[in-house]
Structure 1
Amino acid sequence: MPTTTQFDGVIAIDGPSGSGKSSVSRRLATELGAACLDTGAMYRAVTLAVMRSGVSLSDTATIMKVIEGTRFEFGTNPADRYTRIDDVLVDADIRGPEVTGQVSAVSAVPEVRKYLITAQREIIAAAEHGIVVEGRDIGEVVAPDADLKIYLTADPAERARRRSSQDGSDLAATAADIKRRDTADAKTTRPHDAAPGAVVVDTTHLDLDQVLTALHELIAHGGTA
């Protein structure tokens, strides 16, 4: 596999659930010696904090008080990514079905999105040796001036198969959940639309190494296919 030994810019990787964003972002950041930010984990963390507080999802003012009064930490080392709430690791908790079922609703609150987009931009600006940022609206909203924008996609059936294999869930239930998430996320982001200037990479028939090879070639050629 071709590798890029140095990259000090910003790479935005967008795409729907199950398209391979997390695995690709972590590996790419490792190979580039860059930081890696999972913005989805940030939305899940604030969702968990809100759920634990018992606040109604319709009470925006109180939701923001909870979020602003909570300490969140997000590790950006691709070899040791972590999420902490008030100094407690919550990586397993934010991936649970309860959070998965509520994260789209919390993410849809405009004030929450504004708060997290600001936090994401601060993390990006602080990265000293480049950063790979994954999410659903990175290339268009969070980092529209990213040096390279990638949009990963895959057939819905393949996305469901991957997610089911990862967490051991029922395939049919996973497919239904992905469809529900896509519909909910489309109200606040454009999970099925590539950002302007993004290179679309269909991962349906590609394994991880093949995707990484394609991305390294894009970087080597200045982001053009």
Structure 2
Amino acid sequence: MPQTPVSSDVSQPTEPPLSGFVVAIDGPSGSGKSSVSKQVARTLRYAYLDTGAMYRALTWWCLEQHVDLDDAAAVTAAAGDFPLEIGTDPDAAHVLVGGVDVGEAIRETRISTTVSKVATVIPVRELLRRLQRELISAAAAEHGGVVVEGRDITTVVAPDASVRILLTASEQARLARRSRELHGDAEATSVSATRSQIVDRDRLDSTVSEFTVAADGVTTVDTSDLDFDGSVAAVLQVVAAART
């Protein structure tokens, strides 16, 4: 897949509508958003796009380029020359930056604890929003549909999506899930170590996007008391209802 540089032009021309069947899923960290979205895409044989990975990849790029993350203008400039390549196969959703596979690196703590500094820069969000719409339409046109997940997909990136879902869960459930993912258990010390990557990041990101309360027309799916299979089934039920 060729690299897709991000244009630095932040003007807002009239945009074409999205192509294909688009399932937009938003939600806070630890809600099960990524794993559930991937499985829904597999089940439907749709493409899959993780927009959060794009912000993480840009954060990695800024750090590699020694960009001051507290300098919004510098971060925006870096976003305007961002050599990103991102896959949309749910079984091989690779992320390359300048030809470097950063799939594992962007999940490291140094990225998780700084990505909000990049994701809260408004011009950067606009640049990536446009790129995301291009990727969504291309993937949906090729595969008949796409499941795209993030924090502002249902409201900003793809408010015209065929299905819009807010996937949520209680703070306790979200902390426990991410703790098991990162530390292998949900003991008090592990949960405490995970808190900054969940609660603090959500607090910062909520200054630029609303992903805790469903907007009009968005269906809420609460996964607090659901296991993985139950969460996938709940999302698929919403999709099936929209297609009837």
TM-score normalized by the length of structure 2: 0.85
Structure 1 residues 10-35: Cα deviation after superposition (integer angstroms, max 9, x where no partner): 00101100000001100000010100
Instruction: Tell me the amino acid that sits aligned with residue 147 of structure 2.
Output: V
* Pick aligned residue for 2:56 from 29, 44, 47: 44
* Pick aligned residue for 2:161 from 146, 150, 162: 146
Q: Say if 1:223 and 1:202 are closer, same or farther in 2 by CA, change over 3 A.
A: farther
Secondary structure in 1 aligned to 2:114? Answer: helix
Which residue of 1 is the match for residue 97 of structure 2? 85
CA contact (8 A) 2:69 2:117 kept: yes
Secondary structure in 2 aligned to 1:81? Answer: coil
* Pick aligned residue for 2:85 from 73, 98, 110: 73
Which residue of 2 is the match for residue 103 of structure 1? 115
User: In the aligned structure 1, how far is the partner of 2:242 from the partner of 2:66?
Assistant: 48
Q: Say if 1:68 and 1:175 are closer, same or farther in 2 by CA, change over 3 A.
A: same
Which residue of 1 is the match for residue 127 of structure 2? 115
Which residue of 2 is the match for residue 13 of structure 1? 25
CA contact (8 A) 1:156 1:175 kept: no
Shift of 1:223: 6.7
- In the TM superposition, what are the counterparts of 1:14-33 in structure 2 within 5 Å? 14-33=26-45
Which residue of 2 is the match for residue 4 of structure 1? none
Shift of 1:222: 1.7
RMSD, aligned α-carbons? 1.6
User: In the aligned structure 2, how far is the partner of 1:204 from the partner of 1:116?
Assistant: 30
- In the TM superposition, what are the counterparts of 1:156-175 in structure 2 within 5 Å? 156-168=171-183, 170-175=190-195
User: In the aligned structure 2, how far is the partner of 1:153 from the partner of 1:28?
Assistant: 16
Instruction: Tell me the amino acid that sits aligned with residue 239 of structure 2.
Output: I
User: In the aligned structure 1, how far is the partner of 2:182 from the partner of 2:158?
Assistant: 30
Instruction: Tell me the amino acid that sits aligned with residue 92 of structure 1.
Output: E
CA contact (8 A) 2:21 2:161 kept: yes
Which residue of 2 is the match for residue 134 of structure 1? 149
Which residue of 2 is the match for residue 202 of structure 1? 222
User: In the aligned structure 1, how far is the partner of 2:85 from the partner of 2:121?
Assistant: 21
Instruction: Tell me the amino acid that sits aligned with residue 80 of structure 2.
Output: E
Instruction: Tell me the amino acid that sits aligned with residue 229 of structure 2.
Output: D
**Identity, % of aligned pairs?**
43
Structure 1 residues 148-197: Cα deviation after superposition (integer angstroms, max 9, x where no partner): 11111111011011001111172112134311111111111112121321
Structure 1 residues 7-60: Cα deviation after superposition (integer angstroms, max 9, x where no partner): x50001011000000011000000101000000000000011111111222433
User: In the aligned structure 1, how far is the partner of 2:82 from the partner of 2:239?
Assistant: 38
CA contact (8 A) 2:113 2:196 kept: no
Which residue of 2 is the match for residue 34 of structure 1? 46
> What is the number of residues matched between the two proteins?
217
Where does the alignment leave 5 or more consecutive residues of structure 1 unmatched? Answer: 1-7
